[in-house]
Every structure is written in structure tokens, then in C-alpha cells.
Amino acid sequence: MNRQKFTGSILLLIGAIIWGVAFVAQAKASNIGAFTFNCVRNIIGGVVLLPFIFVLCKKDNDQPPRPKNCPNLFICGAICGFFLAVASAFQQSAINMGASTGKAGFITACYIIFVPLISTFFGKKVSFLLWIAVALSTAGLYLLCMTESLVLEISDLLLLACAVSFAFQILAIDRFSPYFSGIKLACVQFFACGLFSGIMMLIFEKPNLSEIYAAGIPILYTGVFSSGVAYTLQIVGQKKLNPTVATLIMSLESAIAAISGWLILNQSMRPEEIIGCVIMFVAIVIAQLPTEMFKRK
């Protein structure tokens, strides 16, 4: 069990690194509509996984039987894809409106708060260690990302809605991933997200091929790595971890975003940002500690 948790943590950490760098790519693709961007990137992510499905996932003999109240793969993937489409649309729209990287990173990563809160409504218990870790991560994210006074704007509300939507997507993955191949569930999720985003694209936007081509590198990075690789790692990694612990690890994307901005965009890191990174890593360690060691025998 400890080996499984370690493996799941490593997979989610790799995904967080990819997502952190994706903030730079998303900012560079702000010239095209949010729905257009998300439609293209998620279709690319689904296509990338198709060869792996044919080679590695011909059968699901290793999957446990589904309970009677659990829908089939396509319905479960569509549910996950819907929440992913909503969250991604809110996030990209806020970035296109000019939301700063720090504010976007902090508010989006607030899903680390919403996941345990929403879980309690579904009867899941959250240990006191995880609540401590959530509080520390929130403080770390604040030090890391908040470079200006928090003034409530429309982009802030969009990012807050993004955080809530990501929380539901994480909980949906936690609910369905034990019963399906991670790669298959991710593939259906991407195509569903691309379909939902494509419908909204045709209604609200006018996609331009030249603009899509001009943003080709950011779209390819987010499509192949951020969607195809990182979200698949999320599904596989979440199978092995408590969803609250998983969100704490995935929230490290904000720390990686700051580091990638320093390396790629030559942005310097303030002492508060470095302290924030340290606090977040401490929170991850606390979340991994067994609760039993703090209980009286």
C-alpha cells in the first residue's frame, strides 16, 4: 500500500510540473477564444491516447467489477469531461481577460479547499492532519502567488468558479477511476471536453484557423502534455491516494508555475515566494503522515 501511495504521489507530482509550465503556454495563447483553445487542445489530448489504448488496454480484466449504480465508461468519462470543460473555460477566459499569473494561480488552486469541503457532504471523513495540510497549503499558495492586493474582479469570479469546477472534476475522477482503465477514462474525458468546448465555440466564438496556427506551439504543449499526459497521470495517480492528498500534490502546479516563469520568462522569485514553496512541500509531507501515529493507544 505504501508503494502504491508513493507511485501515485510521483505521478501526480509529474502532472503538477506539466500543469505548472502550461500556465506559460496558456498565457501565450490568449489571442484565441477560450472555447476554441480548449476544444483543440483536448481533442489533441484524446488523439494522443488512442494508440496507447489499442496497445495497452485491449481488455479490462484487471479492473474490479462496477457497482450497479455506476454508469458505463462513456457516461463516466462524459461527466468528468463536462467538469473539465467548465473549469478550463473559466480559467482560460480569466487569463484572456488579463488576470495576473499570481492571482490566477492562487484562486485556481483553491480547489484544495473545496475538495475536502465538498467531500464532507458526500459522507467522507477528512482527518485533522489533512485539514492542517490544507491550511498550510493555502498559506503557502498565498505567499507564492499573491503579488498584489486582492481586489474582486470579474476574472476573480471566473477563477473561483474554475476552482469549484476542478474540485468536482477531481471528485468525479475519485468516484469512477477505480472501475475503469485510467487511459480509457482519460481519453473519453478529453473527447467529451473537446465536444462540449466545441459546441460552445460554435455558439459564442468565431474560430480562425490562422490564429489557431499562430498559437500552434502552446496548443500542442497543452494538448499533448498538459491534457494527454498530465490528466492521464491524474486519473492513474488518484486511484492510489485520498482525493484531498491528491489535490494537495496537484496544487504544487502553482509553485512550478512560479519556477517556470523564472526560468522561461526571466521572472525573479521574491523571498515570500520561496517561503511559500517550502510551506507547500511541508504540507504535502504532513498530508502523507499516518493519522494513527498521533492517536492515543
Written as one string, the DSSP assignment of 64-110 is PPPPTTS--HHHHHHHHHHHHHHHHHHHHHHHHTT--HHHHHHHHTT
CB 251 within 8 A of CB 97: no
DSSP 120-155: HHTT----HHHHHHHHHHHHHHHHHH--S-----HH
The CA distance from 142 to 56, in Å, is: 41
Q: Where are the domains of the chain?
A: 2-54+72-289
CB-count burial class (<10 Å; 0-12, 13-18, 19+) for 61 = exposed
Q: What is the pLDDT of residue 7?
A: 87
Query: pLDDT digit of tens for each residue in the chain (297 aa)?
Result: 577 888 888 999 999 899 888 888 888 888 899 999 999 999 999 999 898 887 766 555 556 666 666 788 899 999 999 999 999 999 999 988 877 766 777 788 888 888 888 888 877 777 788 788 888 888 887 777 666 565 667 888 898 899 999 999 999 998 888 888 888 899 999 999 999 999 999 999 988 899 899 889 999 999 999 888 888 888 888 877 877 778 788 878 877 877 777 777 676 667 877 788 788 778 877 776 666 655 554
Residues 196/88, Cβ–Cβ less than 8 Å: no
Residues 6+ apart with CB under 8 A from 133: 244, 245, 248, 283, 284, 286, 287
In whole angstroms, how far apart are CA 16 and each of 10, 53, 180, 268?
Answer: 10, 23, 23, 21
pLDDT at 296: 53
Scan for cell 512550478, then name that residue. Answer: 256
- Contact between residue 88 and residue 202 where contact means Cβ atoms under 8 Å apart: no
Give CA–CA dist 170/244, Å, rounded: 9
Q: What are the helix (H) ranges across the chain?
A: 2-28, 34-56, 73-96, 101-108, 111-121, 128-145, 154-176, 182-204, 209-214, 216-220, 232-238, 243-250, 253-264, 271-288
User: What is the rounded distance in angstroms from the CA atom of residue 160 to the CA atom of residue 10?
Assistant: 27
